[in-house]
Amino acid sequence: MNHWVAGLCKLSLIVLSCYPALTVVSGTASLESPWAGSKTVKLGDTLICTVQLFSAMYIFELFFRKKVSYISAAHHVGAVVIAQSSTVLFLDPAHAADAPLEFVLCMLWGMY
């Protein structure tokens, strides 16, 4: 069950965040740019939703597994904390300029 949930979440993350992540990282768009011509949905909104999906997947894995090593638990908790800090930076106007860099760091950590 854990592999099915993680697989579906990771597939959804790739499909939903590939375009926004690449355009923000390459500098051709910002987090406030519209998503596929939409007037209400922004690229940052999509990335926030994918960060929440990522966090939910990791938290699910922590609660679902019968035995969790200390290293695995520390990795999962650290990933969730960093992902949520990127969301806080994005939503705080005083630190909104740091949000794209934090999203890039989260994406790079998630790839490896």
Q: What is the pTM of this model?
A: 0.77
For residue range 9-65, what is the model confidence (pLDDT) as tens digits?
888 888 888 888 888 878 888 878 888 888 898 888 888 888 888 889 889 988 888
3-state secondary structure of 42: strand
> Tokens at residue 25, please?
């990282």
Do 84 and 55 contact (CB within 8 A), yes or no? yes
Domain residue ranges of the chain, discontinuous segments joined by +: 2-111
Judge residue 3's burial from the number of C-beta atoms within 10 Å of its C-beta, 0-12 exposed, 13-18 middle, 19 or more buried.
Answer: exposed
Contact 16, 58 (CB under 8 A): no
What is the gyration radius of the CA atoms in the chain, in angstroms?
15
